[in-house]
């Protein structure tokens, strides 16, 4: 009975977090648009914070074991190292691939947490700024989407080609556009149609390089990592929910 009450309490907490986010987002946009001269910078950061809260609540609801948190921390460290290792090569960053692998192997919530935290830690090397929340949201969503698609059978972790294609597509159509949108809000003095179009077009080569790094990493390195994570899950009974 107590377990059921705790479960209901956590489910209610997750629902409340989602409702708050959905209510606060339009209110924030309305207030900023009408009373603060459309302050894009502050508005965008607030919306990102609202959007991330439900994901962290969902992870809390799982009540992860200590060994699960250690495993996620290790995956974050690998993701950070993979980004730092290519600091000399602009835009060629395999970090998203590690996050995708985590989302598939350990669950969507773990994928989101790994993506967000990897950005925070790796930006200690690459530099923090107003772009950090945008990156946290983008890379967190990649891990979450990968976990959800695997859970519903859309992705097959044993199909390297399919994983590589997914990695390429999600960078081009999710991470890339989110980070290009960040550039719009953080750089533009005024949002005009020509500037918006130019920003997204100029981001295509950067996104293509990033997508290629992700696809190659998934194709050549996903299977060894899946084997190690599956062995840990079996040995310690992790992520059984």
Give residue 113's pLDDT. Answer: 84
| CA 241/CA 236 separation, integer angstroms | 13
Nearest to 99 by CA among 162, 163, 45: 163
Give residue 104's pLDDT. Answer: 95
Give residue 66's pLDDT. Answer: 75
**Phi, psi torsion values for 237, nearest 5 degrees:** 65, 40
In contact, 102 and 110? CB cutoff 8 Å: yes
Q: How many CB atoms lie within 10 A of CB 43?
A: 18
Domain 62-236 classification at class level:
mainly alpha
| CA 34/CA 102 separation, integer angstroms | 42
Nearest to 93 by CA among 219, 208, 181, 174: 208
Give residue 189's pLDDT. Answer: 66
Q: Is 38 left (phi over 0), alpha (psi -120 to 50) or beta?
A: left
| CA 115/CA 113 separation, integer angstroms | 5
Give residue 2's pLDDT. Answer: 44
pLDDT in single tens digits along all 241 residues of the chain: 444 445 555 455 555 655 665 677 667 767 766 666 555 567 667 766 776 777 667 666 666 677 778 888 899 999 999 999 998 888 899 999 999 999 999 888 888 889 888 988 898 888 877 788 888 888 988 998 999 999 999 999 999 999 999 999 999 999 999 999 888 877 766 778 888 898 899 999 999 999 999 999 999 999 999 999 988 888 766 665 5
Which value, to the nearest 10 degrees, does the dihedral of the CA atoms of residues 134, 48, 120, 42 take? 80
DSSP H stretches of helix in 36-65: 40-61
Give residue 200's pLDDT. Answer: 92
């Amino acid at each position: 009975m107590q377990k059921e009450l705790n479960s209901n309490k956590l489910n209610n907490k997750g629902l409340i977090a989602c409702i708050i986010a959905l209510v606060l987002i339009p209110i924030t946009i309305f207030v900023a648009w009408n009373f603060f001269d459309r302050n894009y910078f502050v508005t965008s950061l607030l919306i990102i914070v609202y959007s991330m809260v439900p994901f962290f609540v969902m992870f809390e609801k799982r009540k992860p074991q200590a060994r699960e948190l250690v495993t996620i921390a290790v995956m974050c460290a690998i993701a950070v190292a993979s980004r730092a290792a290519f600091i000399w090569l602009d835009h060629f960053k395999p970090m998203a691939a590690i996050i995708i692998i985590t989302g598939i192997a350990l669950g969507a919530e773990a994928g989101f947490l790994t993506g967000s935290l990897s950005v925070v830690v790796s930006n200690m090397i690459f530099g923090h700024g107003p772009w950090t929340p945008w990156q946290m949201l983008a890379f967190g969503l990649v891990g979450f989407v990968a976990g959800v698609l695997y859970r519903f059978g859309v992705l097959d972790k044993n199909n390297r080609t399919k994983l590589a294609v997914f990695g390429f597509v999600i960078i081009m159509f999710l991470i890339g556009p989110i980070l290009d949108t960040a550039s719009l809000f953080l750089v533009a003095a005024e949002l005009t149609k020509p500037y918006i179009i130019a920003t997204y077009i100029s981001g295509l080569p950067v996104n293509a390089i990033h997508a290629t790094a992700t696809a190659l990493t998934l194709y050549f390195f996903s299977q060894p990592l899946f084997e190690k994570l599956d062995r840990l899950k079996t040995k310690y009974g992790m992520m059984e929910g």
